[in-house]
Structure 1
Amino acid sequence: MTVRRIRLEALAEDRLRMLPQREAKLRLTTHQNALRLSKLTVRLVRVECRLAGNASGICFGSRKLFRQQHHLELTGFGSREAWLRQWQSSCSRQIFYVGSKDETAGNQLCQLHGNADRTYSLKIRIPDRLRLPDDRAPLVIDQVTFDYDRAALEAALNAGTALGWRLHRDERGWHAFLSFDHKPAPKTTLDLMYGAVGDDFNVDHLAVTETDAFGNLLHTGRLPLLR
């Protein structure tokens, strides 16, 4: 930005060296860089103040719920103990296990194994401090099923792909979300003499249209998206 300012000052001596359009663009770029620098400076000051005050940048359970302990009557909590129970429940709502292709079943702490009846057993390793005296070392959940994209899941397990697990709890209970690198489908490109197919992703459906080689409409359809 310093170089640009020097060039702008040089324009005052001889404006014939640069076209008016180029001069206007240079001035606009300098102005935008100055605004960007000002915003970054403000953000830096805020971060330095937060670090100096030892204020955490992450608040599990949401900052909104955390602040409600100071206004119990307005937020509907009968006591601080009621707020604390809600706070602890909100903080322990979900957990994520990072996958690794070097581990068994693609994960060190959360592993999926197939059964003879085409169901799965999910084995979760629980930290020692959270385990009760009568608990087994790993938590095993049987009769786990996956109704969607089962073939891709089987391929990922057989190939030793890294599997990332996210366990989420809501009013209905616990839900397991599994993520992994899906093998891309083979691409097939046909000549325009066969026509073309266009798709459009919307909020709740996928619109598909087929045309012939001359652009005439042949078929159109609407496919609902999974929720």
Structure 2
Amino acid sequence: MQVTFQTRLRDEALYPLLDAIAALYQRLQRRLFVDLYVRRRPVEECKREYIARHGLTARQFNAITYELKGKVRAAEETRQQRSRTLQGQIEATEKAIRKLQREDAALAKGSGQARKLPPHERVERRQRVRFRLHQKNRRLAMLRARLEAAENHQGPSSLCFGSRKLFRAQFHLAENGYASHDEWLQAWREARSDSFFCLGSKDETGGNQTCTLLPGGTLRLRVPNALAGEYGTHVLIRGVRFAYGQDVLGAALAAGQAISYRFVRKDGTWYLHATTERMPAPAVTHRQAGAVGVDLNPGLVAVAEIDRSGNPVGTRHIPVPIQGRRKEQVLATLGEAVADVVAWAKAAGKPVVVERLDFRAKKARLREVSDRHARRLSHFAYASFHALLIARAEREGVEVITVNPAFTSVIGKFMARYGLSPHAAAAVGDRPAGPEVWGAAPVRKRPSATCEESRAARLGRLAPGSPRRAWAEADACFIRVSLRGRPRQGGTPIRSGTGGCRLARPGAGWSGLGPGVRSPGANRREHRSPGVVS
């Protein structure tokens, strides 16, 4: 897994050199975008020309090309996601229009709930409904036009080096805090030359030919030939120390791995980002031991430990108050919850099981849902939680299994019997199933009875003592016991925020149903007490 670590460069005497390199790299990257994606020139032809004309090394040109392709690929993915978002918004708007049309028809006929309204109030409500219907039709036409334009787009994806937001700020200088156009122009030029990239390779010394980390915290930077007359061919940056990840970078250097470096200027200060592959930690979990199911909800993370048979042995609720918080606070809160989950799984020696969810389609329909539901969905940071969980688990040697979220809440009907909260029951439902996860099931030594034979056994249609009747009764008993599980003592589910779970073992006289729970068919006529009527 790729990891990135950051440190601040304290030697301000090197800042003019870094500014010059960033300006050169970014200027050539914008020119290369035109050559590769507008004029469609071959990259080999551009490489020979740029090396000879602009004073670059081959590795420096490769780094500029690699970064440019990443930006173009990200822009293309953004455009495709934009089309999917527009399609979802169109479907949601069409659904809202159909609902308003039905409401308008009911108000016009005076049927349904509209029958109870006074005539003048019915007229006023219909006017409001027709106005909303008109606005929805306008929005639908606008969305369809945008989708058609996005689908008919030809040529490369558009890129704005420096961000569109800053580019549009020149038309409203005072609102964006600029005293003059010259001040904005200075900010625009700085934004377009605020970083440069050094591509690493495992077949090069120190994992990177252009930028090499030497022993003792010294970084050797290769200066482009276009700037070598003023700054020399190489520059040494001393005192480079990473507060986090120094051991990972040291292991990467010892193993001969590739290390890529990115120099970033932020608020007048230069930072160094080092990216490499983290060596995987030894696995400390086993699927045969069970699993730790995780269910993320707005406001809490439900965790349930499951044994090798799929039965819960303990649950916990971890509060994650993220609504109304900044992005940094949300990531910190989710990180603490992820650390607790991974520590539990590591101590139990069981893998973490989490649902594979995607809320992009639902978030595209926020306009047509209630305000409360929209706030809950917009604050639901599942992608960040999943990324943090994967990174932490890999660092600790804990396996993460993603499962299909379909039918994971079916176990919720057993929450009263298990003594679980709804969220903990959903976490239990996340447990994976199938021979590809837990291994093949043991082969039965006798033929399985059909549903008709099981029903015939209950009705007594099979002869007593026959082998087929014995097999049918055994199958019915197996199904009945597997569905009942182990009930807890008490008839109502636990819904406390503490997440405590106490599983009760069946005692003497246990009938398979908790207190206060009637058995199926208890209200039939043949089962009623004398004197009970319908």
Unaligned runs of 5+ in 1: 1-37
Name 2:252's counterpart in structure 1: 156
Q: Any idea what the Cα deviations from partners look like across 1:34-92, whole Å, max 9, x if unmatched? A: xxxx99974464325xx7xxxx8222111222233344455443333212211111111
Name 1:143's counterpart in structure 2: 239
Q: 1:114 to 1:83 in 2, by over 3 A?
A: same
Name 2:507's counterpart in structure 1: none
Alpha-carbon separation, structure 2, partners of 1:42 and 1:122? 48
Richer in helix (by share): 2
Name 2:223's counterpart in structure 1: 126
Alpha-carbon separation, structure 1, partners of 2:166 and 2:285? 53
1:100 corresponds, among 180, 184, 201, to: 201
Alpha-carbon separation, structure 2, partners of 1:215 and 1:86? 58
Q: 1:91 to 1:114 in 2, by over 3 A?
A: same
Alpha-carbon separation, structure 2, partners of 1:63 and 1:187? 46
Name 1:65's counterpart in structure 2: 166
Q: Are 1:124 and 1:140, in contact at CA under 8 Å, matched by a contact in 2?
A: yes
For the residue of structure 1 that corresponds to 2:154, the secondary structure is helix
For the residue of structure 1 that corresponds to 2:201, the secondary structure is coil
Unaligned runs of 5+ in 2: 1-144, 319-336, 341-387, 392-534
Alpha-carbon separation, structure 2, partners of 1:209 and 1:132? 65
TM-superposed CA distance for 1:143, in Å, is 1.1
Name 1:113's counterpart in structure 2: 214
Name the aligned partner's letter for residue 46 of structure 1.
H
Q: Are 1:195 and 1:215, in contact at CA under 8 Å, matched by a contact in 2?
A: no
1:216 corresponds, among 290, 308, 313, to: 313
Alpha-carbon separation, structure 2, partners of 1:39 and 1:71? 26
Q: Are 1:196 and 1:211, in contact at CA under 8 Å, matched by a contact in 2?
A: yes
After TM superposition, the structure 1 = structure 2 runs for residues 185-224 of structure 1, keeping only pairs within 5 Å, are: 185-190=281-286, 192=288, 196-197=291-292, 215-217=312-314, 222=337, 223=339
Name 1:91's counterpart in structure 2: 192
2:262 corresponds, among 160, 166, 182, to: 166
Using the size of structure 1 for normalisation, the TM-score is 0.60
Q: Are 1:211 and 1:218, in contact at CA under 8 Å, matched by a contact in 2?
A: no
Name 1:5's counterpart in structure 2: none
Task: Name the count of aligned residue pairs.
Answer: 176
Q: Are 1:109 and 1:125, in contact at CA under 8 Å, matched by a contact in 2?
A: yes
Q: 1:73 to 1:159 in 2, by over 3 A?
A: same
For the residue of structure 1 that corresponds to 2:273, the secondary structure is strand
Alpha-carbon separation, structure 1, partners of 2:292 and 2:304? 6
Alpha-carbon separation, structure 2, partners of 1:42 and 1:218? 51
Q: Are 1:210 and 1:218, in contact at CA under 8 Å, matched by a contact in 2?
A: yes
Alpha-carbon separation, structure 2, partners of 1:102 and 1:132? 29
For the residue of structure 2 that corresponds to 1:165, the secondary structure is strand
Q: Are 2:304 and 2:313, in contact at CA under 8 Å, matched by a contact in 1?
A: no
Give the greater-gyration-radius structure (CA).
Answer: 2
Name 1:8's counterpart in structure 2: none
Q: 1:143 to 1:207 in 2, by over 3 A?
A: farther
1:47 is the counterpart of 2:147: no
Kindly indicate whether structure 1 or structure 2 has the higher relative contact order, using CA contacts under 8 Å at least 6 residues apart: 2
